[in-house]
């Protein structure tokens, strides 16, 4: 278990989520405009704090706060890590919530994939996105391939949501890193320009 991983690039940092972040995480998770494509989420602050405490005791699970400067602007995680029959390691990434006023999506994805493949030794990283979340699906379509044979059920307001799976591979990471780094660089430059205007 390693809850001391820090990664940064282009003015954005991933840092480990702490119990003290519970209120901010709850604020993000409770904002319907940010979580409209996620499963329903109704918990109290005390429940969020208890979840964070239990998370910190779980091996092979990594929950990050995304920061722009010193400002926490989102969350991201790696979880469901397991050894496959062939000895390789697979994990899921998700819990990706971003404040809309901060364009940090490509940069945070770049940092997370680097963490999974370079630091944690994961060979396959998959994610699941509800079918209506077109912008996230389009993002994953640029850098990963759609995975068949995986199943999941997500409910939102008691309605079943269809899920699309994508897989990122360590064997493709060198190519994906170059592509994603280019997009991250453009995103950072655009954000800097907007802040200067």
For 14-58, write each residue's pLDDT tens digit.
999 999 999 999 999 887 767 666 765 678 899 999 999 999 988
- Average pLDDT in the 67-74 region? 92
CA–CA distance, 77 with 112 (Å, rounded to integer): 8
CA–CA distance, 48 with 185 (Å, rounded to integer): 34
For 107-165, write each residue's pLDDT tens digit.
999 999 999 999 999 999 999 998 888 999 999 999 999 887 776 666 666 677 788 89
Q: Are 126 and 147 in contact (CB under 8 A)?
A: yes
CA–CA distance, 190 with 103 (Å, rounded to integer): 9
**pLDDT of 61 strictly over 80:** yes
Question: Could you tell me the pTM of the whole model?
Answer: 0.89
Taking CA 24 as the corner, what is the angle to CA 97 and CA 35, rounded to the nearest 5 degrees? Answer: 30
For 77-105, write each residue's pLDDT tens digit.
999 999 999 989 999 999 999 988 888 99
For 166-188, write each residue's pLDDT tens digit.
999 999 999 999 999 999 999 88
- Average pLDDT in the 57-69 region? 92
**pLDDT of 192 strictly over 90:** no
In the block, tokens 């995304």 appear at 66
Contacts of 3 (CB under 8 A, 6+ apart): 16, 56, 62
Contacts of 173 (CB under 8 A, 6+ apart): 113, 117, 118
Q: Give the pLDDT score at 143.
A: 94
In the block, tokens 């397991």 appear at 82
């Amino acid at each position: 278990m390693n809850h001391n991983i820090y990664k940064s690039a282009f003015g954005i940092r991933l840092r480990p989520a702490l119990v003290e972040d519970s209120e901010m995480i709850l604020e993000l998770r409770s904002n319907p405009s940010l979580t409209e494509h996620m499963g329903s989420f109704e918990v109290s602050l005390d429940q969020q704090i208890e979840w964070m405490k239990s998370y910190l005791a779980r091996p092979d699970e990594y929950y990050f706060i995304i920061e722009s400067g010193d400002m926490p602007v989102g969350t991201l995680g790696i979880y469901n890590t397991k050894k496959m029959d062939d000895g390789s390691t697979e994990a899921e990434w998700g819990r990706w919530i971003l404040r809309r006023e901060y364009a940090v999506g490509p940069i945070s994805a770049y940092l997370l994939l680097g963490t999974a493949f370079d630091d944690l030794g994961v060979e396959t990283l998959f994610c699941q996105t509800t079918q209506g979340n077109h912008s996230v699906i389009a993002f994953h379509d640029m850098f990963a391939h759609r995975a068949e044979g995986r199943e999941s059920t997500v409910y939102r307001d008691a309605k079943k949501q269809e899920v699309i799976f994508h897989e990122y591979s360590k064997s493709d990471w060198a190519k994906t890193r170059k592509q994603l780094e280019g997009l991250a660089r453009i995103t950072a430059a655009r954000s800097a320009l907007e802040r200067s205007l």
